[in-house]
Amino acid sequence: MQPTTLFDLSGKVAIVTGGGNGIGAACCRMLADFGATVVIADLKVADAQKVADEIGASGGKALAVECNVLRDEDLIGLVERTIAECGSIHVLVNNAGGGGAGKESPFEISQQQFERPFQLNVFSAWRLSQLCAPHMKAAGYGSMVNMSSMSSINKSPAISAYAASKAAINHMTANLAFDYGPVIRVNAVGPGAVRTGALASVLTPEVEKRMLAHTPLERLGEPEDIAGAVLYFAAPVSQWVSGQVLFVNGGGVQTLD
Ligand SMILES: NC(=O)c1ccc[n+]([C@@H]2O[C@H](COP(=O)([O-])OP(=O)(O)OC[C@H]3O[C@@H](n4cnc5c(N)ncnc54)[C@H](O)[C@@H]3O)[C@@H](O)[C@H]2O)c1
């Protein structure tokens, strides 16, 4: 591999779920900067369109698609539209997700509330991977990147549903690497605390101070920090890397408690 091609995504098509904001939007911009045509799938299609317009304005190629990853018909429609408009699929970033926020006390939540992070974070990623895999095989290049979290290995109060769903992502990633190899690689990125709208809803100055006390690099993450790890997994540079979880966390641990 030539040094110039290690990170080259020219001619590749990448789907990013939850690409309208936060980490997903940064992933879209980064993948487009390195040559990919990016399909930005989000519940909030106006936000996805804004990211697509920014990418277009800086010379890249992007398509915004309205998609709720909890709806099977939306996932099927996303894949069909990508093939119809972009011709193939090489990279899938299963980023849409959420839950937790330290509000999952088992004394207060129902079984349905426990199940929701699994539907959003795990089941949707499994299903979209299943739908994309045949197209990646046909294209002869495939990289799936699942968005995990440091919560998948941390131990904290009132976050058991989210944390368990992200731990499931880690093990699903390692096992699907066997099912989808050798053409398709499956990896995950586990962010620490990253400055997005989702974090802003729970971050107080006191919580931030405690987080920084346990962070060698002495700052919280920015969405671009996570996008860099996603780029690594998406690009040919990681061609012998599969089944792995890369934690991107400033070298430390940031919890809400
Ligand atoms: N921000 C953090 O500190 C942090 C830490 C660890 C892991 N993560 C993970 O990173 C991912 C992105 O988080 P973020 O902080 O960027 O969130 P965010 O709230 O900033 O952005 C999430 C995006 O996903 C979209 N979305 C939400 N539900 C959707 C659905 N059902 N279908 C399609 N799109 C949907 C939203 O509209 C939004 O555009 C999540 O999987 C999250 O669990 C975030």
- pLDDT number for residue 245: 98
Catalytic residues: 162
Residues of the chain with pLDDT under 70: none
Report the atom number in ligand 1 closest to the C-alpha of 191: 6
- pLDDT number for residue 256: 86
Cβ contact 192:91 at 8 Å: no
Residue nearest to atom 7 of ligand 1 (CA): 149
Q: Does pTM surpass 0.75?
A: yes
Distance of CA 19 to the CA centre of its chain: 9
* 109 contacts: CB under 8 Å, gap ≥ 6: 103, 161
Q: What tokens appear for 204 in the block?
A: 């107080």
In the chain, what are the domains?
A: 3-244 (3.40.50.720)
Cβ contact 117:100 at 8 Å: yes
Ligand 1 contacts CB of residue 43 (under 6 A): yes
Ligand 1 contacts CB of residue 243 (under 6 A): no
- pLDDT number for residue 74: 98
- pLDDT number for residue 169: 98
- pLDDT number for residue 7: 98
Ligand 1 contacts CB of residue 91 (under 6 A): no
